[in-house]
Amino acid sequence: MSLKSLTITKHSILPGFGLTMGFTMLYIGLLVLIPLSTIILTAAGIGWAEFWEIVTAPRLVASYKLSFGASLIAASINAIFGLLVAWVLVRYSFPGKRIIDGLVDLPFALPTAVAGITLTTLYAPNGWIGSHLALLGIKGAYSPLGVVIALTFIGLPFVVRMVQPVLQTLDKEVEEAAASLGAGRLQTFTRIILPEIFPALLTGFALAFARALGEYGSVVFISGNMPMKTEITPLLIMTKLEQYDYSGASAIAAVMLFVSFILLFVINLLQWWQGRRHG
């Protein structure tokens, strides 16, 4: 009897590769590929000249600048302060730590419309925070600043939840060894800790940016929706749909989709380069 015949086959608790792969492709196809391809096909059907006229309208260009600019600023703010929040939650013990840890997920659970109304109430000129900003000559709600505030609110959990597990797995003995060799706190952070958490930080930044780019519910109230000033691109897509202009809405959505793919590709390329650099 050969050894091959004595080999015991190990069965997985899940069905075989063919069946699970088939379900995976079906699921992704129904939820992702088919809806996205519908946008591309609808936009392609209106002709290049009309498409270009729609997507380069001055009102739409102003909304691009606000949507992409505010999303970039909000994701950058979350990258800095999300790292700080994750650091505090991982490295320190204090009363109420679990409550604060749970509050980080609140933007995930809170309906975006509720978040928008709440932020608008707080940052309006007569609101709790907005009234103090008004004394300094700063307009919170109904301004681009209000859009940044709303997008920062909804993007915070992405950075914290990506960085937190990586910080928990870092070996403190390496930091202690660096300190014993004369490295300062800043050197230890920039040369030992930051390279380890940078891929997770970049992923959190990308997720926060992508989430902010498509946000509608929490922004539509606090922005004030003033044409050429505080209108976001998703609002103009919604306006086209309300006017039954499906081709125009698809053209705008195709532009957002294209730019989002490029930005996410660049960020993933940076992640791959960073991971390869540090082995």
Q: What is the pLDDT of residues 93-112, one digit of tens each?
A: 999 999 999 999 998 888 88
Beta carbons within 8 Å of 179's beta carbon, 6+ residues apart: 188
Mean pLDDT of the chain: 85
Average pLDDT over residues 210-218: 86
> Alpha-carbon distance 163 to 205, whole Å?
10
pLDDT bucket at 3, cuts 50 / 70 / 90: very low
DSSP-assigned letter for residue 13:
S
Percent of the chain whose predicted confidence (pLDDT) is above 90: 27
Percent of the chain whose predicted confidence (pLDDT) is above 70: 92
What pLDDT score was predicted for residue 23?
86
With 0-12 CB in 10 A as exposed, 13-18 as middle and 19+ as buried, what is 238?
middle
Both tokens of 22, joined, read 């088939």
Query: Model-level pTM?
Result: 0.84
Residue 82: pLDDT above 70? yes
What pLDDT score was predicted for residue 14?
62
What pLDDT score was predicted for residue 1?
46
> Alpha-carbon distance 204 to 117, whole Å?
26
Q: What is the CA radius of gyration of the chain?
A: 24
What pLDDT score was predicted for residue 217?
85
Residue 273: count of CB within 10 angstroms of its CB? 11
What pLDDT score was predicted for residue 150?
93
